[in-house]
Amino acid sequence: MPSRRHFVHSLMGASAALPMFRATAMRQVARATERLSSADPAAAADDEAYWGEIQRAFDTDRTMINLNNGGVCPSPTHVLEAMIRDLRFTNELPVNHMWAVLEPRIESVRRDLARDFGCDPEEMAITRNASEALETLIFGMDLRRGDEVVVTNQNYGRMLTSWDSRTRRHGVVVKQVSFKVPPPSQDYLVDVFRKAITPKTRLIEVTHITNLTGQIFPVREIVEMAREHNVEVFVDGAHAYAHFPFTRDDLGADYYGTSLHKWLLAPIGTGFLYVRKAKIAGMWPLMAAPPSMDDNIRKYEEIGTHPAANHNAISAALAFHRAIGSERKIARLRYLRDRWAKRLLAGSDRVTIPTQLDTPYAGAIALVSVAGLEPGKLGTWLLDKHRVVTTPIVHAEFSGLRITPNVYTTTDEVDTFADLVLSAIKRGIA
């Protein structure tokens, strides 16, 4: 089996064949890989020489500590430059350069994403974000008045709003189920959905990993259970793809939507929608497409004029991600999470973290609550006084600060966050 070092160097040598990809774009990753003393992903989790090189691939504002990588993330500098270069090229003669030269390269992006996700390129549509992908599914499925859809009350707000629209317009019955945080087991999560199914249930929408507490759901088991009841499953993977390793076949899913400007670190305004080939004809596009495209995955890309530069730079981001490696990446993300989380748990009995640590059922996203400190006020204090960006979460069943480091996050930054929270517990935030 080729070594990681061999892979990186071969990738650099082949980079000229990739659309919009500089020959020097992977130099930072190559230098980092040279420093590794072990091929074991877990052994590299705290290798600061390696991750220091990865951090230098980003032009981030180090006067701020960004622990909110759940919405959008910065791209590596070479990915941003690839997009900017193509925007400039577009602007020279848009009618030709964008439509005739750059737009056809979306097929290379489709191929690269499909290979990584483990599907046929003819099942991979390029979208602008997870919301567009999931709304294509939500509004694209033929549902009748009285048909039931099962979701959780931790599904992403925009998706719940979309389902509410279907309720108001078409009489679809949407059932929101609750689950314990943290859940007692993965089987329990499957049972939450199983118990909600009735003869009228047509569809389940499951979040691969929640954006609130970072709970990873047993998607494959839910899909298999739902098929026994002839129920379709939409998977909202907004925070999952390129966050932790998996493929389509690991999930067994027929439908999957995700954003790429989160954990893949692609330009803002990029995502994908996967629909299994046999299901394409039965799923309407969000915007109209001709009947000749009924079986064509590209019907979901009929959105009118849009920049090609954004989606073409996805291939550069994907190459960067693959050069690091999914296993190495998630090991680092969990290391950073545990570094602050376990310190806070050990430092005060006022700290509660409902995210499942020391399991494979969580990644970088974690929620922390401090008894006596309101999340909004604590988050404001961290931002205004100490330039630390977090995400206050207030849910009907829990609240806290959502903390999400990324590969460019330093250990000093997560240590500073932990120092500040312990200081707030001891001295207050007045």
Given this model, what pLDDT does residue 424 score?
98
205-259 tens-digit pLDDT: 999 999 999 999 999 999 999 999 999 999 999 999 999 999 999 999 999 999 9
Per-residue exposure over 13-47, b if at least 16 CB sit within 10 Å of its own CB, e if not? eebeebbbbbeebbebbbbbbeebeeeebeebbeb
Q: How far apart are CA 260 and CA 130, in angstroms?
A: 8
Residue type, 296: N
Given this model, what pLDDT does residue 39 score?
73
Given this model, what pLDDT does residue 252 score?
98
What string of DSSP letters covers 302-349? Answer: --SS--HHHHHTHHHHHHHHHHH-HHHHHHHHHHHHHHHHHHHHHH-T
User: For the CA atoms of 251, 125, 302, 70, what is the dihedral angle to 10 degrees?
Assistant: 70
Q: How far apart are CA 267 and CA 182, in angstroms?
A: 33
Given this model, what pLDDT does residue 27 score?
66
Given this model, what pLDDT does residue 131 score?
98
The angle formed by the CA atoms of residues 13, 269 and 327, to the nearest 5 degrees, is 50
What string of DSSP letters covers 142-199? Answer: ---TT-EEEEETTS-HHHHHHHHHHHHHH--EEEEE---SS-S-HHHHHHHHHHH--T
Q: How far apart are CA 128 and CA 296, in angstroms?
A: 18
Token pair belonging to 126: 């390029």
Given this model, what pLDDT does residue 430 score?
78
Look at strands 366-370 and 124-127 and give their pairing.
Answer: unpaired
Given this model, what pLDDT does residue 21 score?
40
Given this model, what pLDDT does residue 359 score?
97
245-300 tens-digit pLDDT: 999 999 999 999 999 999 999 999 999 999 999 999 999 999 999 999 999 999 99
Given this model, what pLDDT does residue 42 score?
86
Q: How far apart are CA 34 and CA 83, in angstroms?
A: 28
Q: How far apart are CA 312 and CA 20, in angstroms?
A: 7
Could you tell me which CATH number the domain at 100-317 has?
A: 3.40.640.10
Nearest to 258 by CA among 242, 246, 244, 245: 242
Residue type, 40: D
Token pair belonging to 295: 């079986």
Given this model, what pLDDT does residue 35 score?
64
Q: What is the pLDDT along the chain (430 residues), one digit of tens a residue?
A: 334 444 344 433 333 333 344 445 466 666 666 667 667 888 899 999 999 999 999 999 999 999 999 889 999 999 999 999 999 999 999 999 999 999 999 999 999 999 999 999 999 999 999 999 999 999 999 999 999 999 999 999 999 999 999 999 999 999 999 999 999 999 999 999 999 999 999 999 999 999 999 999 999 999 999 999 999 999 999 999 999 999 999 999 999 999 999 999 999 999 999 999 999 999 999 999 999 999 999 999 999 999 999 999 999 999 999 999 999 999 999 999 999 999 999 999 999 999 999 999 999 999 999 999 999 999 999 999 999 999 999 999 999 999 999 999 999 999 999 999 999 999 999 7
End-to-end CA distance of the chain: 58
Give the side-chain half-sphere CA count within 13 A for 191.
8
The pTM of this model reads: 0.92
